Amino acid sequence: MTTRKLPRTLRLDSSDLYVFKAAAEPGEWAVSGAFAFVDGDLAALDSKDKLALASGWLGTDSFGRSSLVEVAEIEDAGYFAVVERLARHFIEIYGAPGLAEALPAARAEVDDASGLCTHKTGTLLAVERDLDEDGRLRERFRVIRPERADDHAKIWEIVED
């Protein structure tokens, strides 16, 4: 049985329930989900959609957002099920003409997410998005590593990957 790595949503506290219109459930396989903002009017986004744009991963079960994901292992059958769910989402929400057209785009999105998981299992990842000087959407991914401190004041540090 072959496995690979893919981001999986997690919830360290209840904040995602309040900051996103729809929060992903913990344990959903995730992709960046930036495609949801590429062709839209970003100036017209409400505050919750702006937060999803700025820092939300997209869960592939509920299609809700998560602030953090962890690197996790997934078996091939699960991986291809994620691709198919995402392809069906492209058809239902974004108007892709059919599964044959949506599957390659979904596969590319899931492969991109898998490519971010070069770290050991359990590593936390965050995303930051904004517009560059030309108005294009830019993504940066951060690895969040636990810190060991004698005073226990700081337990996480965000570092550029």
* 3-state DSSP assignment of residue 50: helix
* Residue-by-residue DSSP string for 6-33: EEEEE-SSSHHHHHSSSBPPTT-BEE--
Residue 147 has pLDDT above 90, yes or no: no
- pLDDT tens-place string over residues 62-93: 999 999 999 999 999 999 999 999 999 999 99
Instruction: Return the H-helix or E-strand segment holding 128.
Output: strand 124-131
**Distance (Å, whole) CA 141 – CA 125:** 7
- pLDDT tens-place string over residues 11-42: 999 999 999 999 999 999 999 999 998 877 77
**Domain membership of residue 27 as a residue range:** 3-160
Number of compact structural domains in the chain: 1
CA 158 to each of CA 54, 117, 126, 146: distance values in angstroms, whole numbers, following the listed order = 16, 16, 9, 9
Rg (CA), the chain: 16
Query: At 35, phi and psi to the nearest 5?
Result: -55, -25
- Amino acid, res. 143: V
